[in-house]
Chain A
Amino acid sequence: MATIKVGMADLNVCKAPDMITTLGLGSCIGIAVYDPVTKVGGLAHIMLPDSTQMRNNSNIAKFADTGIEELIKRVTAAGANKRRLVAKIAGGAKMFQVSGLSTVGNVGERNAQASRAKLKQLGIPLLAEDTGLNYGRTVELYPETGEFRIKAVGKSIKSI
Chain B
Amino acid sequence: MAKFSLDQVNEMYFDVLKEIGNIGAGNATTAISNMLNLKVNMEVPKVEFLTFQELPTAISAEEETVVGIYLEVESDIGGSMMFLLKMESAHYLVNHLMGRPDDYAEEFDEMDLSAIKEIGNIISGSYLSALSSMTNMVITSSVPYLAIDMAAAILSVPAIQFGQYGDNALLIQTEFGDEVKIQGFFILMPDVDSYDKILTSLGIAL
By a beta-carbon cutoff of 8 Å, the part of chain A in contact with chain B is 7-10, 23-28, 47-48, 54-56, 58-59, 62, 93, 95-98, 102-104, 107, 134-138, 151, 153
Contacts and interface: CB of A to CB of B under 8 A. Distances in A.
Contacts, number: 120
Main SS of the interface on chain A?
loop
A136 B167 contact: no
A8 B53 contact: yes
Contacts of B153: 24-26, 93, 95, 135-137
Interface of B: 1, 5, 7, 52-53, 55-56, 62-63, 65, 68, 70, 72, 80, 142, 145-157, 159-161, 163-167
B49 to A, nearest CB: 16
B167 A47 contact: no
A24 B63 CA distance: 6
A151 B153 CA distance: 12
Given A25-B153, A26-B153, A56-B5, A107 B160 contact: yes
A136 B157 contact: no
Given A26-B153, A134-B147, A136-B150, A104 B56 contact: no
**Cβ-closest 3 pairs across A and B:** A136-B153, A24-B152, A26-B156
A138 B53 CA distance: 16
Given A8-B56, A95-B147, A54 B164 contact: yes
A14 B142 CA distance: 44
A9 B163 contact: yes
Nearest to A48: B163
A136 B154 contact: yes
Contacts of A95: 68, 70, 147, 149, 153-154, 156-157
- Most chain A beta-carbon neighbours within 10 Å: one of B1, B53, B72, B157: B157
Contacts of B52: 7-10, 47, 62
